[in-house]
Amino acid sequence: MLVKHVDIGRRTVFRDARSVRTKNRKTITSTFFPIGEDIEPIVIEWVGFLTKEKLFGPDDPLFPSTKIALDENKLFAPVGLTRKCWTNPGAIRRIFRRAFEGAGLPYYNPHLCRRTLGVLCQRVCKTPEEDKSLEPKFGARKRPDGAGELRRRCIASPS
What separation, in Å, do the N-terminal and C-terminal C-alpha atoms of the chain show?
A: 32
Cβ neighbour number for residue 60 with a 10 Å cutoff: 19
Q: What is the pLDDT of residues 20-72, one digit of tens each?
A: 766 677 788 888 877 778 888 988 999 999 999 999 999 999 999 999 999 99
> Following DSSP, what letter does each residue of 19-38 receive, concatenated?
TS--GGG--EEEEPP-S-TT
Cβ neighbour number for residue 133 with a 10 Å cutoff: 12
Cβ neighbour number for residue 118 with a 10 Å cutoff: 21
- pTM for this model (two decimals): 0.71
| DSSP assigned state of 120 | H
Nearest to 133 by CA among 22, 25, 33: 33
C-alpha span between 57 and 121 (Å, rounded): 34
Cβ neighbour number for residue 90 with a 10 Å cutoff: 9
Q: What is the pLDDT of residues 91-145, one digit of tens each?
A: 888 988 999 999 999 998 888 877 777 777 777 777 777 777 676 666 555 545 5
| DSSP assigned state of 2 | B
C-alpha span between 34 and 14 (Å, rounded): 17
